[in-house]
Amino acid sequence: MDLRGAWALTFLRRSIEPLAIALIVTGWLSTTLVMIDASEIGLLERFGKLTAEPLDPGLHLVLPWPMSRVERVPLHRVKEIPIGFTGERAGASVLWTVQHAEEEYKLLLGDGRDLVTVNASLHYRIKNPIDYVYSVQNPDETLGIQADLSL
């Protein structure tokens, strides 16, 4: 019997629990650091209530999760929602009889004699981040549905 192996095994048994606890606490405390990108703004919620001032781009120190939560909103980025298609080949020439994307659908407009299919993209930028996050549950999906209904 090797005594060095028994000592190492005993040391490992004694140190695994404190090491696991230290890793969990370190991971939890790492949620106090929040990085906001240059094209984003951060909406900070403390104990479920929105704070008055949004977080500017940069590194911020906040309370750890679940006491605070940061919702990042891309203000300066132009977002895009496809209307009538969801495939990668949006600009390609397509036939009506061939499906070109997994979730593709045809948006047909017409008066009964002439039919037109519409494949378009809606480009938008978020103006009011609080309304964007807190007015509707899924703002991108809602905007896509409204765009489809308006055609």
Alpha helices (H) along 1-151: 3-29, 129-134, 139-150
Longest dimension (CA), the chain: 92
Q: What angle do CA 83, 89, 93 make, to 5 degrees?
A: 95
Q: Is the pLDDT of residue 43 over 60?
A: yes
Q: Which residue has the tokens 């490992």?
A: 12
**Tokens encoding 122:** 């809606």
CA 65, distance to chain mean position in Å, is 18
| Beta bridge partner(s), residue 124 | 79
Q: Give the residue among 115, 138, 119, 135 at the shortest CA–CA distance from 127.
A: 135
pLDDT in tens, 105-128: 555 556 666 666 667 788 889 888
Instruction: Quote the CA–CA distance of 33 and 74 in Å, as a whole number.
Output: 19
Res 26: pLDDT: 94
Res 103: pLDDT: 52
What single-letter amino acid sits at 39?
A: S
More confident residue, 130 or 8: 130
- Choose from 23-32, 90-99, 106-115, 117-126 the range with maximum mean pLDDT: 23-32
Judged by DSSP in three states, 140 sits in helix
